[in-house]
Structure 1
Amino acid sequence: MICGIINISLDIYKKPEYFYSGFFIMQNVDYIIVGDGYAALFFAHQLILNEKSFIIYSEGKKSASQISAGIINPVVLKKFTTFWKAQEQIDFLRKTLNEIAVYTGENYLIDVPIHRIFHDENEQKLWLKKSDHNDLNKFLDKKFIHLNTVKNDFSTGKVNQSARLNVEGFFDGMINFLSHNNNFITERFDHNILNTSENTYKDYKFKHMVFCEGMGVRLNPYFSEIPVNPNKGHHIRVKLSRSLNNNITIKKKHFLFQLNSELHFYGGTYDRDQIHESIDESAVEQLKNGLSEFYHNEFDVKEVYFGFRPTVKDRRPIIGRHPELNNLYVFNGLGARGILNGCYFSKALFDFIENDIPLHQEISLNRF
């Protein structure tokens, strides 16, 4: 049982402090977090570990994080390359999910690998060539595997150390835990009533405020100029006429895996142009066609979801302090790797605020 090896006390919360301000009773907190996606919840975990008091403000809507696939993948599967700090991020995520399991009672890691369907022999050869590289040999398995049920004439390559997050379980578990401990407020944050001279918001006096709003940052008067761009992603939930092996995730154009006994997830798309707040039928057709390429049995589309990933041109998160208001911070731009980026860089932000450890230039707001 992991509780025996993770040194976290269940009595982890710093007690709130109350004081009178005129006719009102105010509550002192170390942090207010605005947002409820991966950035917000993984940063909240850092506060829990370090016994900091905090409040999270959530609009109560399904964010892009909450409808994401939850793929944990150290390899860019189009070109068979990896990315900056991939191994460190994978290791830190596994450690973090063990820590979270101590107080939520569940580990949300689904330890099933990705199998990439090869298009042709050239892709097989490229995979094998890349698997000899020092930064990829621990991720690209040299043993090819042929799958039943789906078309994979050139077999598949297994991505070692890949996995998935139980997205619904993670958000339900974390939000229920935080709500039970009075750390979670389902209410739209109103930037207009934030008092930056008194460091107060409604009934709270805070030391630090961290904005983790995703594309909502565009309505934030303090950080609206940061260069994040919406990337619209759709996924479909389908009922397959012939079920698949539920111990793998299949990747060709998109990801396919089993959600539950009834539905499979297939997605997601990337669209920087069609950013209206409604389902794009061309994206749905793209997904149906993509699934039909390798799944030659009948399937029914039962549900369609879409969300807007906050992406950055250089594919690095944006983390930093407001240039004039020294206790306001932003944690944004996680892109398509929200789980890994949100988890790993939450500690970098905490260390920056609390321990004055400089942010790496590649993620710092100051790079702009």
Structure 2
Amino acid sequence: MELLKVSLDNYIKPEYFYSGFFIMKNVDYIIVGDGYAALFFAHQLIISKKSFVLFSEEKKSASQISAGIINPVVLKKFTTFWKAQEQIDFLKMTLQQIEEYTKENYLIEAPIHRIFHDEKEQQLWLKKCENDDLKNFLDKNFDRLNGVKNDYLSGKVSQSARLDVSGFFAGIFKFLKNGEYIVKEKFNYTELNVSESTYKNFKYKNVLFCEGMGVKENPFFADIPVNPNKGHHIKVELSKPIPGNITIKKKHFLFPLNEKIYFYGGTYDREQLHHQIDDSAVEQLMNGLKEFYPDKFSLSEVNFGFRPTVKDRRPIIGRHHKYENMYVFNGLGARGILNGCYFSKSLYDFIENNIPLHEEVSLDRFKPSGL
């Protein structure tokens, strides 16, 4: 895929004008949210020289504490998913574009190594290697990993990697702050004047909601069918570091954050949805790590977040059925990086170029008959 060069010469900032006694700001877009959906769509606006303002709360979103795994394979059954290759290619191009204005590379080339539980998994992996949709993702050569138990070896996922999550958000937020794109406050729906297309002192052409599970408080899109999936991860200090900067997967993902601290997670829970740490989830993670890490380790931190998931495992993107300049981008699930990046362009083309959304991700697939 050819890289679209990004020029930030004369990039767009809000225009000011007087309305009565108030100074208003003209923007093409208001974005509500600060996770992957919001930032990847903001990137589309930056490279297209559209003016916008992004509303970000002070608390960290589920995206900001995510693992950052970039993975084209479902590692439980060794299958892939819809548009996996296209999403991988588009993400790599997009991260190169983002590097041009943040001056940082956030792609960590650390492929996933899936530890096999038994010989049956080895044979299944080799069988799946012959499938047209998987042959570019599953390496036929097995590896023996140092520093962990892997009696049945491991398989490498080609084209897998990680995103430097903390660096990604810090770098883009810094750029947004310097460009006067960001407002650090909770969006107040009652101050949105949909008939005048204004919010406080902003006059907008379009408003986009990218709020994750926060959408349940949104009076315009509260009924979209996203369901919370609670995920825990832990940070641990290993007594003996694992050689190489790799990502190891058995039940969960393990990878280094620095020389001492490792990330391990995450869990999936649709039942225990309270806003507190679940001891059972922490125990599950500790036991999962003990299965393949033979040495001592200590727990240093526990985090959890709520992934917005959809029953058909597709994002929800589209226009409000009543307000023509109001949109939603949600339901990214566990593949927030790939879904957020790839479908941000689909949404942008839908709004700006009237290119129809694919029916599998369109909000219209949930529209009641007759609307």
Fold in common (TM above 0.5):
yes
Q: State whether residues 13 and 180 of structure 2, in contact with CA within 8 Å, keep that contact through their aligned partners in structure 1.
A: no
Indicate the residue corresponding to 2:353 in structure 1: 355
Q: State whether residues 37 and 212 of structure 1, in contact with CA within 8 Å, keep that contact through their aligned partners in structure 2.
A: yes
Q: 1:6 to 1:85 in 2, by over 3 A?
A: closer
Identity fraction in percent: 70
1:209-228 pair list within 5 angstroms:
209-228=207-226
Q: Structure 1 runs of 4+ off > 6 angstroms?
A: none
1:1-368 pair list within 5 angstroms:
7-11=5-9, 13-368=11-366
Q: State whether residues 246 and 257 of structure 1, in contact with CA within 8 Å, keep that contact through their aligned partners in structure 2.
A: no
C-alpha separation between the residues in 2 aligned to 1:193 and 1:271?
35
Amino acid at match of 1:8: V
Amino acid at match of 1:58: S
Give the secondary-structure state (helix, strand or coil) at the position aligned to 2:172: helix
TM, length-normalised to structure 2: 0.97
Q: What's the CA shift for 1:262?
A: 2.3
Give the secondary-structure state (helix, strand or coil) at the position aligned to 2:92: helix
Q: State whether residues 12 and 49 of structure 1, in contact with CA within 8 Å, keep that contact through their aligned partners in structure 2.
A: no
Q: What's the CA shift for 1:8?
A: 1.4
Q: What's the CA shift for 1:13?
A: 1.8
Q: What is the number of equivalent residue pairs in this alignment?
A: 364
Q: What's the CA shift for 1:245?
A: 2.3
C-alpha separation between the residues in 1 aligned to 2:97 and 2:175?
14
Q: What's the CA shift for 1:148?
A: 1.1
Q: What's the CA shift for 1:12?
A: 5.0
Q: What's the CA shift for 1:336?
A: 0.1
C-alpha separation between the residues in 1 aligned to 2:309 and 2:315?
8
TM, length-normalised to structure 1: 0.98
C-alpha separation between the residues in 1 aligned to 2:55 and 2:12?
19
Q: State whether residues 319 and 332 of structure 1, in contact with CA within 8 Å, keep that contact through their aligned partners in structure 2.
A: yes
Q: State whether residues 6 and 98 of structure 1, in contact with CA within 8 Å, keep that contact through their aligned partners in structure 2.
A: no
C-alpha separation between the residues in 1 aligned to 2:79 and 2:41?
28
Q: 1:6 to 1:358 in 2, by over 3 A?
A: closer
C-alpha separation between the residues in 2 aligned to 1:319 and 1:299?
43
C-alpha separation between the residues in 2 aligned to 1:224 and 1:13?
34
Indicate the residue corresponding to 2:369 in structure 1: none
Q: What's the CA shift for 1:241?
A: 0.4
Q: Which deviations, in whole Å up to 9, do the C-alpha atoms of 1:211-258 show, x marking residues without a partner?
A: 000000000000000000000000000000010124210000000000
C-alpha separation between the residues in 1 aligned to 2:343 and 2:110?
24
Q: State whether residues 246 and 258 of structure 1, in contact with CA within 8 Å, keep that contact through their aligned partners in structure 2.
A: no
Q: What's the CA shift for 1:17?
A: 1.8
Q: What's the CA shift for 1:6?
A: 5.4
Q: What's the CA shift for 1:19?
A: 1.6
C-alpha separation between the residues in 2 aligned to 1:85 and 1:285?
35
Q: State whether residues 6 and 99 of structure 1, in contact with CA within 8 Å, keep that contact through their aligned partners in structure 2.
A: yes
Q: State whether residues 13 and 51 of structure 1, in contact with CA within 8 Å, keep that contact through their aligned partners in structure 2.
A: yes
